[in-house]
Structures are given as structure tokens and as C-alpha cells.
Structure 1
């Protein structure tokens, strides 16, 4: 591979490409969510700024997209590539933040499509179908980005913990028989 050099392992190549792969999904998710709006003559105007869960998803997507781009570029620099703990911790934290934003947005979409009869919330997507479709598309792109970050979290964990030996020797077959 010309960009990273010839002595780069397949795992490092996969890590680099996944980090680059996730950036357009985050950008598209942000753009679609920011431009989601619909005017309903009966109920009024509905926009991105009206929903805290949507803002949270956009905020987390922006952070994760920027970090993924930074981490992909920093893979060219050998001094940062040796800081496996830094990537491990950051990948873990961002994967969890993306999961929480995905869950919050998923709950919003569930309530928007189904409502909640116990507390007398009606289905909003009956009145705001275009808005709901755009938010659903943004959530779908966010889910793809979350899956990529989960894979990156596993890769970074493997890269950190492969350097350590097992805390004990596994029992041999003779020990297991006794």
C-alpha cells in the first residue's frame, strides 16, 4: 500500500480504511439531520433544532467524524501509531457515545412512528412524514457509522492487549484429566 508504506500489517490497513470509510457516513448523517424540516399548516413548523436527541446525534457524529479523520491521518505518523492506549481509550469512549446517541434517536423514532397511548402522545409521523423520513435516513447512516466504530473498538483493543501474555498458563490435557 503506497500511502502507509510497505511494512504495514493487514490489520493496520483495515483500521485505516474503516476510519476513512466512516467519515462520509458521519458527514451525510449530519447534513441530512441539519436540513430536516417540514411545515404543516395544522400543527406548525418542525425543524432540527426542536429535538435534543437529534442535536445529540449530530454532535456525536461530528466529534466521531473528526476523530476518525484525525486518527486515519495520524496512522501515517509513526510517533502516534505507537500510542495504542490512546486510540484504544478514545475508540471505546466514542463507540459508547455513538451507541447512546443511536439508542436515543431510535427511541425518538419509535415514539414518532407509534406514539405512546398511555401518556396520550400521538404519532407525529402521520403529520410530519417527510421530516420523519429524513430523520430515519440520518439514523440509518448513523447505525452504519456505529457498526464501524464498534469494529474499530475491537481492533484497537486487540492491538493493545495482544502485547500482553496470559496471566496464567492454560492447563494441559494431563491436568484436566486429574
Structure 2
């Protein structure tokens, strides 16, 4: 399989996983009656880490859609014409690296905040939220699983992006050696 086609397939899968993660977290709500007339609704806005997860995953999905369009355009060019796009390859590589790190960091922050919602913190007098909002917590757990699958897919994309960048450099050109 061609590298560009493999990259397009990985970008499509990571985009779908990122959108699924953002939708699962963003649309997840559960309402409980606490006292006779007091109603409490759990949403992703209750934890700042979940809000950041929705925002970062949405931006990362949009970025991957733009890169997917670039993959479709670059399929029409021949490999020897891509030598002139060295600057574009560097930009794509650096943006892919930043995307991976941001998505992994926000997923890890959301996992830490969710773990605190599961276990509580008796020293800080924080109660366990997942005892009351079980469906909400299960759906967040599924979303985090999708988020880490998207992170793995983005890491593979980053590896392919690095390979596509560094294959443009030849050892003779890099070390300024001339053929004898």
C-alpha cells in the first residue's frame, strides 16, 4: 500500500474517533433528583478537563480533515514533484507532532479528572460522583477509550509524517558530499 493512502486511511480513522470522542463527551448528560425538588444535571461542563477534551478533539479532527484533503491532492502528484514541498512537509510534521501531544495530554487530564470523580477525595471532602451518575461515567469512560484509540492512530500518523519528511533528504545532500 502506498504511504499516502495509508496516511489517508489513518487520518480518516483518527478523525472519526476524535469526532466520536467529542460527541460522546459533549452530548453526555444525566439528570438526578437529589432532594424532593432539587434536580442536579451532570454534563461535561462540570469538569474543566472534559471541556478541554471536547475543544481539543474538535480542533484536532478539523486539522485531520484538512490534512486528509492534502492527502487526496498529493495523490495526484508524482513522487519526484514532491521534492519541492520540503517546507510543507516540515510544517505537516510539526503540526502532527503537536496534535499528538495535545490529544494525549487532554485525554490524560480527562482520565485523571474522571478517576477523581470515581474515587472521590475524602481529604478535600469531594464525594464520589459516579455512584450517583453511573450512566454518565460509563459513557465518559467509553469516550476516553475512543480518545486513546485516536491518540494511537495520531501517533502512527506522526510516524508516517516523519518518514515522509526525512525521506526527502538524501545522505549526500545532507552531509554536502559529492559523488566521486
Query: What TM-score do the two structures reach when normalised by structure 2?
Result: 0.80
Where does residue 133 of structure 2 map in the other structure? 128
Secondary structure (helix, strand or coil) at the match of 2:72 reads coil
Q: 1:112 aligns with which of 113, 117, 128?
A: 117
Task: Name the count of aligned residue pairs.
Answer: 159
Q: Deviations over 1:127-162 (max 9, x none)?
A: 111111111111111111111111111111122123
CA–CA separation in structure 2 for the residues paired with 1:57 and 1:131: 16
Q: CA deviation at 1:71?
A: 0.6
Q: CA deviation at 1:65?
A: 0.8
Q: 2:59 aligns with which of 58, 63, 67?
A: 63
Query: What TM-score do the two structures reach when normalised by structure 1?
Result: 0.81
* RMSD between superposed Cα atoms in Å: 2.0
Runs of 4+ in structure 1 displaced over 4 angstroms? Answer: none
CA–CA separation in structure 1 for the residues paired with 2:158 and 2:91: 12
Q: Which runs of 5+ in 1 are unaligned?
A: 1-8, 169-178
2:71 equivalent to 1:75: yes
Q: 2:16 aligns with which of 18, 24, 34?
A: 24
Q: Deviations over 1:10-59 (max 9, x none)?
A: 22221111001112111211211111111121172211222211111111
Q: 1:51 aligns with which of 44, 47, 59?
A: 47
Q: Which runs of 5+ in 2 are unaligned?
A: 176-180
CA–CA separation in structure 1 for the residues paired with 2:2 and 2:147: 26
